[in-house]
Structure 1
C-alpha cells in the first residue's frame, strides 16, 4: 500500500450540474494519497464513507452519483496519521451543519480539545479533524460567520493542513 497523506477535493457547479461524477473521478486521481478509506459529502445528508480503494466501488458509481446528486460536494481519501483505520474515522466528518475533510496533522489537538470542552481519545476514535470541526462550529456559533471563525481557528491551530468545508446551505470552502 502506498502511504502519502490523504487527499481532499471540493467542487461547486455554478450551472447547477451534478458534480458527483467529477468528485469521484477526482478522488480516483488522488487515490495514491490515501488508500484506507474514502468518502463524499453533499449538503443536508450524512457523508457516504467506504473502506478501501475508491476504484473498488466502481460498480456502485452510477448509483452513488444518482443518490447523492448535488451541485456542491467535498470528498476525501484517507491515510491515517491519528486514529484507527475504520469507518468512524473516515472522512468527510459532519458536525451540526458543517462537513469537513482534512489533509495534514494538527499537533496541538489536546489544546484545541480543551477549547471545546475536552475530548477523550481512544484508539478506536481519535481524530484531530473532529476536534477542529468542533472548534470551528463553536466559533461559527460565537462569531456568526465562517470567514471570521476560520481567521480565529487558523491562529488556534499548530501544524500543517489543507481543509475543504461544505455547509448545509451548499457553500464550499477551502483553507
Structure 2
C-alpha cells in the first residue's frame, strides 16, 4: 500500500493523492486502507517516511568506508543522483511539489525529523572521517551535511524541471567541485 501511495503521489502530487486512487493502484478495497490508516494524511505520511527510509538505506549501502575520504564524498553525491533517477516521480513530488507540510511539534513531524536527522548524521560521519584524515578543513560536519543536502536538492530540482540534461556523473562532479572548492579563483603564486 505504501509503495502504491508513492506511485500515486508521483503521478498526481500530494493534492491529487486520494484513498480511492491508492486503493486502485494497490489492488485493494478502500476499506482495507482504512484498516491501517485513519486518513489520507496518515497514509501519505507513512508512505513518505518509508520512501525516505528506503532512500537512506540505499545511500548507506552504497558507501564504502575503505575508500579515500574525497572519493566517499563524491560517491555520496553520485548515489543521490542515482537514487533520484530510480525514484524520480516520488522525489519530484517532494522536491518540486513542496506540499509536504512538516509540523515539527507533531508526532509525525518529529518522526520525519528523526529520519532526516539519521540521514544528516550518516553524511556528517563521512565529513568527520574526511576531517580526521586531513582531507577537508575542520568544519561542523552536521552543517556541511545539511548544506550538501541543499546543494544536491537544488541540483536535482534543476534536473527535474528539465533545466539540465547532462549525465548524472557530470552533475555529481560539478556539485563535488563546487562543494569542495567553491567558486573563487585562486591565483597561482
| TM-score when normalising by structure 2 | 0.28
Say which one has the larger Rg: 2
Structure with greater proportional strand content: 1
Greater relative CO, 1 or 2 (CA 8 Å, sep 6+): 1
| TM-score when normalising by structure 1 | 0.29
Structure with greater proportional helix content: 2
